[in-house]
Structure 1
Amino acid sequence: MPVARDIPSASHPNSLLHRLFRRWWRQQSPSRQDRFATIAPLISVLMFLATITATFWYLRNEEIERAGEALRRDTEISQQQIRLHLIENQEQLVRMARELATRDIAPEEFLPHAAAFQRERPEVRHLTWVTAQRQVRASQAVLSYESVASEKPAKHNPSFPGEGLALASEAAFIAARDTRQPVYSRPFTDADGMAVFQVQVPLIDRGNFAGTLIVEYSIESLVRYYVPSEVSRRHIISVVGPELQPLASTVTAMPGQPVVPPSLQHEVPLAPMANGLMLRGQGYRTSIGLIGNTLFWMVVALSVLTVWMLLGTWKHMRRRAQIQNALAQETNFRRAMENSMLTGMRAMDMEGRVTYVNPAFCAMTGYAEADLLDGKPPFPYWPPDRVEENTRLLQQELQGRSPAGGIEVKVMRKDGSIFDARMYVSPLIDPRGLQTGWMTSMTNITEAKRIRDQLSASHERFTTVLEGLDAAVSVLSVQQGELLFANRSYRLWFGADARGHGQLAHSTPAQSYQAEADEEVDGLSGLPTQELTEAGAHPHEIYVEPLAMWFDVRTRYLQWTDGRLAQMLIATDITSRRRVEEQAQQQAEKAQVTSRLITMGEMASSVAHELNQPLTAINNYCNGMVSRVRNESINTEDLIAALQKTGRQAERAGQIIHRIRAFVKKSEPQRQPSQASEIVDDAVELAGIELRRRKVAIHTYVAQRLPTLMCDPILIEQVLMNLLKNAAEAIDSAGLPSARRNIELRVVPRHTAEEGGVIEFSVSDMGPGMKEEVLSRLYEAFFSTKAEGMGIGLSLCRSIIESHRGRMRAQNLYNGTTVTGCRFAFTLPVDLTQRVDAQPVPEVPDVAAAANPNATAS
């Protein structure tokens, strides 16, 4: 471990800084001092590596700058050579153009001068004399002489200007004509496919534009002849166009081989006047660079190796410090755990001498550690009456024959009190693998034993309660299909197997799950255990035919004591209740028939009067036919007509009797598809007898295309008959005038958020209405507002409607604050989507509107 040296503070100028550093160093922990001592060499190596890298980088940049400077110099030298040559040519062309304009040179003499000019300048493609009308007067091409015989301008040749054509030569011609100065054209491709550009010198005759002298340069020849050879050996010199496309170069790329992009590049303009041509110089670095330098990699390798060794040393020191800290923490943790745990620990050697006890053991027995260490049996915490038994158990423990589940013993405290304890024994093994003694853990089980006894008693009481229940209680394992519990009632009714549970739960017991031998499979995979155990019971009633008994069954899922998912079932015997309900239903059916008989009894006189009319008509027809037959005053046609009338009257009487018999016939209630219009027709036909007797008119409205009802039509007719009869009696008993002796029967579809789709039957009268206290008690059994009434009519009607899942209600009709009638209505549920092209339901009119166009009077 490095130690700071004491430096004399009187002789050193930085004595204060040294004292501060020494004080700070002494305040650091030894591990932190070791870390700082390791980090210092690491930082120095990293600084050395950074210095070497920076040096190489600086040298590389210097080399790149020198190469770039040489490239710029060579490019500018090439530019100057080409520019000087072009300027020299331009001066001679200007002199030649002046001679042409002053006619010192005839067209025939132009060609020798042009040939001489071209022989000395191999980059010139041709010289052409063009008039102001763009006509070629003479032209000297490469290595040939051409004379112009005609005055027509050249066509389809990009080297000659053409009026209205988008050519570089045309643009230069116009510029030379306008500026009266030599103009360099933009580069283009001539008829031979070579990249060229032109210089057009204007011909000025006495101040007038007389044409141009066109000189066409080959860009490739310029590069070939006027770029110095020493420059082309060092760098690549090329000419690029306005769109930076290469036009000519000192180096030609081999076909099919990739072109390595240059690392250095410099561009300068080419022509004396701006025409878009650029001279580009390109070069490559000759050095291998920083990354390819062997010396650099050797330095890097040595630095990395040094850093790796320093890091390894630092990591080793850090790991050793961590191990020391972990060992200290583990020791403190074990000591704290032993001192805080409630389990008593006792260590003995192979001879039974106590070598260690923890504070919990001392607290349990009440003895100090000094009283127990080095002690031999009999120990002071052994009860006097159990010395022999404890000695036997100790010998068994020393011989290694103690049971794995521990032994239960009695322990005496120092104050003489005794408590129950359980001891577990395990051998003590040293690092060499040899046993040196025994470790015994002791736990006070007095409270646990008391709780266990209480739980056992509670279980017995719970089992006694379940066995005494009249309901069958069973618990079935969902996974194995095993019956986990069954009380006495279940065993009495279904035996001791799981078939009764499955029968009550509407399912067979689950088959036992067999896991594969080579893997562990979760039998409850995907089963929502939490949701099942939190779900409530779902009661349902089941009839068990072998027992001839009805059961109310409630099931729910729960988690069994061993963690398995189980289904609990409680089946209560409701056979007696079902019998009572069946008897009540039979009594209700009898009451319905009795009500119909009472209704027909009350209508007996009306029915007799109704039957008297067709019977009297039949008698009259028969007597008349007999008299006329005796007098021989009837022919065949009259006899047939009389017989037909007699038959119709007999048929009318038969229909009346048939409806009455169907209405009062005792039959089992049965629901069948029925039409509301047919039910209304039959009810109105039967009630019409009573209504005509009481001189009450009825108006009916039945909506068209109503859906089919699933109901008992006789019971619904009974309800309608009762409501119509009550309305007629209310009107008759009030002695109302003829204008108010009306009843309206309406059948319309409705849809409400509470009931959904229903068909509503309503009976409205124009009677005196009912009092509010009567409306509140209207459906009570045996309550009636009539002196001779039995009080079962409306109550029975409401029961019939509710049995069809409908609702019934009554209300008074008002005109302001005056009661103008009463309205009874009931609804029957139906699927309104069955209606096809249903017409809109009209608003309910006032009962007083007897002249309803949609109503039919009976």
Structure 2
Amino acid sequence: MPPPHHHSDLAPTNPFSLEPPTRWWRSWWRSLSPTRQDRLAAIAPLISVALFFVAIVASFWYLRTEEQDREQDALMRSVHYTQQRMRLRLLERQEQIMRLARDVATEQMGTAEFASRAETLITQYPELQAITWVNAESTVVISQAAPAVPSGQLHTPARPLPPGPTATIFAQIRKQPQSVYWQPQMDPNAAPPMLQLQVPITAGVKFLGTVLAEFSVDNLLRYTTPTEILSRYTVSMLDAQGRTLSSPGGSHAQPRLSLPWIGLQPLKAYTLPVMPVGDSLSLSAQAYRTSPGLVGNGLFWLVGSLSLLTAWLLLGTWRHTGKRLRTQEALVAETNFRRAMENSLLTGMRALDLQGRITYVNAAFCQMTGWDEAELVGQLPPYPYWPKAEYANLMLKLKEELSGKTVPGGFQIKVQRKNGTCFDARLYVSPLVDAHGQHTGWMSSITDITEPNRIRAQLAASHERFTIVLESLDASVSVAPLGSAELLFANKSYRQWFGSQTTGHLQLLQEAGIVKASPQEDDNALNLRPKARNKNAEVFWPELNKWLEVRSRYLTWVDGRLAQMVIATDITARHQAEEQAAQQAERAQAASRLITMGEMASSVAHELNQPLTAINNYCSGMLSRLDSGTLTESQMRFALEKTAHQAQRAGQVIQHIRSFVKRSEPNRAPAQVEDMVAEAMELANFELRRRNVRLSHHIAARLPPVLADAILIEQVLVNLMKNAAEAIDHGGRPEGRRSVELLVRPKTLEERPGVEFAVQDTGPGLPPQVLERLFEAFFSTKSEGMGIGLNLCRSIIESHNGRLQAQNLYNGSEVTGCCFSFWIPLAEPAALQEDKDTLPQQ
């Protein structure tokens, strides 16, 4: 049998096994690190003191809570006792008033005896202030009051009760004879009202009036409440709204002091309704403000103060220990950090003594050169990583290094790896100083710069190519910083056109209207770096006789300054081509108008034939009457007026034709929609009447002016109405379906107000393949058409910033016609004002 002490060797090592608590605690404590042991050793006394302090506070709070409960019970008993005394006193007075009422009802007492008995009661009982006899008609028979009653609360004999709560209670008693208590509401601007008791005077079922008794609430409380209760509590009488009617200690009595953190809470006020009055009168009591008993609890404060002092001292010790531990941890962390940083660096580190012997190399240096640490430490020059061709140069550099002639920016050398390959490196040297301030050697750092050298060479080549490209551009490129007259860059074209100064750069910006030439403007631009925007403009340069397109871009220069690049491109050829294109478009518009009038020639001839025939008839009639001698002066006047009217009509037709055909420069100005529509309808009506097509129109009222060339818009309307009439004629529509309708109405497009013109016909419509190519140049559905009419119309509308579109009209699935519509924006207010200003000059 083994010895008993051998059983301990077989005990499990699991901390949760059934081993003695002391052994488990010891094993857990030893498993902690010294830092955690120091922290726990510093925290444990602080926790014990805090627990001791909490126990003292809990004990004091428990005792104070029990004491408060006892005081609250005593307060409740005192309020109940006072309420019972007050109830008995009111019932006694009620019984006495009821005896007066019975004596009055049995006519055993007159007014004199009533006054005598009432004065006796008022004198004997201070709470009773006034007794009034009121007859059945609510008229005061007699009233006896105490001297302290204010004159405003007295009841005058032979006068009815004033309207109010007293008269209301009287009317209630007349309906149901029974005694009623009433406490009127308190008026803040008047004296507190008195408690009223009305006892009915009845003889059998006959109502003879009431006896009104009024009690002073203050005297009722003062002479009913025991003195010992008034000395301990604040007792007050409250009305139905909780307002204080009477309080012997004053309405501003302070409650008990509240110290909730040590268990001292103020006693709650206890309120009971006064019987038999009811809820309109309540009795409330609350304990007076008393001392919290600091002297009686001196032991508590002493223990608490000592606990706080001990905790403060322990906390100071803990903070001091924490600082020492943090310093130790920071030192360990710094050492580990420097070691890890050294091992992770890609920069090679090499230490030399004063004789040039290698004393230390890091892992990066070994990896960079391919030599091991054992192969390098202790070596004297020439070192194994020196290329043989560079011995003389490297030995000279080493002598300068050992003599202290170091270059702050380092110097570049060639380094040879163990495998024989070489790479470019930059060497930085700094002195090594020990803890006593003695110079012990030199620390060198080596960085592989082969790749940076390659990138630098590529950047230089790229910069050269970029410069060649910019120099060969036909456009002028210049860069200048904001707020400075320095020219950062200018290509060959800029130097040829503007020289080598910033004058041309700034003039281009001014002519283009991109910036203002003021220092303040430039200073503000420096503060608006995130908001800089690119801008384009076209300017004419008289010195060069060129049109230049100026583009500006804000950029950050290589030195961090905000600069502005200006690119000026020669667009003279393009500008001339645009002018020629505009002239060709104008000629095409005039040609279109001539073609339209050529097609309308027969209609115009027919239209002119009517007034000419009428003139001939009127002249022939006058000659015949002159020959016969029957022509009177009035008949001649009538015939001449008709002849003049027909001649004027013919002149108007010719004038419309001339103004439509006449070539003129486009002139956009505010134009009235009604006038343009009227002119176009009068011109198109010739063609429509010739083709037996009816023309109707609808123009919205009060349309504002539009910004347009009236002649061009009339040309578009005439073209669209003529096309509509041709579509109806070629479609062979019957008489009832040969009509064209012109609709003009306001319309907002893309949040911009404007006017929409729509021409609707009753023709056969347009096939889908025609709708797709309708506005293409030289596309026409007519055998004799040129295909430029609708294309020209669309160009005119788009030049007015408008839209032209076409669509078929349907009745179910049947095509009932076609609608051409276009939209023109309204004239701006500034254009309207300018047009008004020019009216007198015209």
Which residue of structure 2 lines up, in the alignment, with residue 355 of structure 1?
359
RMSD: 7.2
Structure 2 distance, partners of 1:730, 1:247, is 102
On the 8 A contact 1:404/1:424 being kept in 2, the answer is yes
Q: CA deviation at 1:575?
A: 1.4
Which residue of structure 1 lines up, in the alignment, with residue 574 of structure 2?
577
1:492 matches 2:490: no
Q: CA deviation at 1:710?
A: 1.9
Q: CA deviation at 1:411?
A: 1.6
Structure 2 distance, partners of 1:628, 1:115, is 136
Q: CA deviation at 1:445?
A: 0.2
Q: What whole-Å deviation, never above 9, does each CA across 1:278-316 have from its counterpart, x for those lacking one?
A: 999998798862477444433333222222222222222
1:590 matches 2:587: yes
Structure 1 distance, partners of 2:616, 2:783, is 39
Structure 2 distance, partners of 1:78, 1:819, is 103
On the 8 A contact 1:702/1:748 being kept in 2, the answer is yes
The 3 A distance-change label for structure 1 pair 60 and 387 is same
1:668 matches 2:665: yes
Which residue of structure 2 lines up, in the alignment, with residue 528 of structure 1?
530
The 3 A distance-change label for structure 1 pair 805 and 697 is farther
1:762 matches 2:762: no
On the 8 A contact 1:480/1:510 being kept in 2, the answer is no
What is the one-letter code of the residue matched to 1:746? E
| Greater Cα shift, 636-645 or 706-715 | 636-645
1:373 matches 2:370: no
Q: CA deviation at 1:434?
A: 5.3
SS at match of 1:746: strand
Which residue of structure 2 lines up, in the alignment, with residue 298 of structure 1?
302
Which residue of structure 2 lines up, in the alignment, with residue 16 of structure 1?
20
Residue in structure 2 matching 1:546, options 543, 548, 554: 543
Which residue of structure 2 lines up, in the alignment, with residue 324 of structure 1?
328
Structure 1 distance, partners of 2:664, 2:657, is 14
| Greater Cα shift, 448-457 or 79-88 | 79-88
SS at match of 1:449: helix
On the 8 A contact 2:238/2:246 being kept in 1, the answer is no
On the 8 A contact 1:749/1:757 being kept in 2, the answer is no
Structure 1 distance, partners of 2:122, 2:605, is 147
Q: CA deviation at 1:549?
A: 2.0
SS at match of 1:697: coil
Which residue of structure 2 lines up, in the alignment, with residue 336 of structure 1?
340
Which residue of structure 2 lines up, in the alignment, with residue 420 of structure 1?
424
TM-score normalised by structure 2 residue count: 0.67
1:677 matches 2:672: no
1:699 matches 2:694: yes
Which residue of structure 2 lines up, in the alignment, with residue 507 of structure 1?
513
| Greater Cα shift, 381-390 or 79-88 | 79-88
On the 8 A contact 2:760/2:819 being kept in 1, the answer is yes
On the 8 A contact 1:219/1:239 being kept in 2, the answer is no
Structure 1 distance, partners of 2:413, 2:592, is 85
Which residue of structure 2 lines up, in the alignment, with residue 852 of structure 1?
none
On the 8 A contact 2:429/2:445 being kept in 1, the answer is yes
Structure 1 distance, partners of 2:603, 2:92, is 145
Q: What whole-Å deviation, never above 9, does each CA across 1:247-271 have from its counterpart, x for those lacking one?
A: 999x977xxx974546889999999
SS at match of 1:528: helix
Structure 1 distance, partners of 2:680, 2:657, is 15
Structure 2 distance, partners of 1:410, 1:360, is 17
On the 8 A contact 1:235/1:283 being kept in 2, the answer is yes
On the 8 A contact 2:693/2:725 being kept in 1, the answer is no
Q: CA deviation at 1:40?
A: 3.3
| Greater Cα shift, 602-611 or 274-283 | 274-283
What is the one-letter code of the residue matched to 2:541? V
Which residue of structure 2 lines up, in the alignment, with residue 44 of structure 1?
48
What is the one-letter code of the residue matched to 2:414? K
The 3 A distance-change label for structure 1 pair 364 and 802 is closer
SS at match of 1:378: coil
What is the one-letter code of the residue matched to 2:347? T
What is the one-letter code of the residue matched to 1:387? Y
Structure 1 distance, partners of 2:763, 2:793, is 21
Structure 2 distance, partners of 1:746, 1:635, is 47
Which residue of structure 2 lines up, in the alignment, with residue 716 of structure 1?
714
Identity score, percent = 45
Structure 1 distance, partners of 2:122, 2:732, is 140
On the 8 A contact 1:422/1:444 being kept in 2, the answer is yes
What is the one-letter code of the residue matched to 1:507? G
Q: How does 1:60-75 map to 2 (within 5 A)?
A: none
Gaps of 5+ in 2: 1-7, 11-17, 95-117, 137-143, 147-153, 185-190, 198-212, 257-265, 830-842
SS at match of 1:703: strand
On the 8 A contact 2:217/2:237 being kept in 1, the answer is no
SS at match of 2:822: strand
What is the one-letter code of the residue matched to 1:378? P
Q: What whole-Å deviation, never above 9, does each CA across 1:168-214 have from its counterpart, x for those lacking one?
A: xx99xx9xxx99xxx999999xxxx9999999xxxxxxxxxxxxxxx
Q: CA deviation at 1:389?
A: 2.6
On the 8 A contact 2:479/2:488 being kept in 1, the answer is yes
On the 8 A contact 1:481/1:510 being kept in 2, the answer is no
1:749 matches 2:744: yes
On the 8 A contact 1:124/1:218 being kept in 2, the answer is yes
Q: CA deviation at 1:779?
A: 5.0
Which residue of structure 1 lines up, in the alignment, with residue 460 of structure 2?
456
On the 8 A contact 2:234/2:249 being kept in 1, the answer is no
On the 8 A contact 1:239/1:280 being kept in 2, the answer is yes
On the 8 A contact 1:699/1:742 being kept in 2, the answer is no
Q: CA deviation at 1:444?
A: 0.3
Gaps of 5+ in 1: 1-7, 91-113, 134-139, 143-154, 200-214, 516-520, 835-858
Q: What whole-Å deviation, never above 9, does each CA across 1:187-246 have from its counterpart, x for those lacking one?
A: 99xxxx9999999xxxxxxxxxxxxxxx999999999999999x6999679797998999
SS at match of 1:405: coil
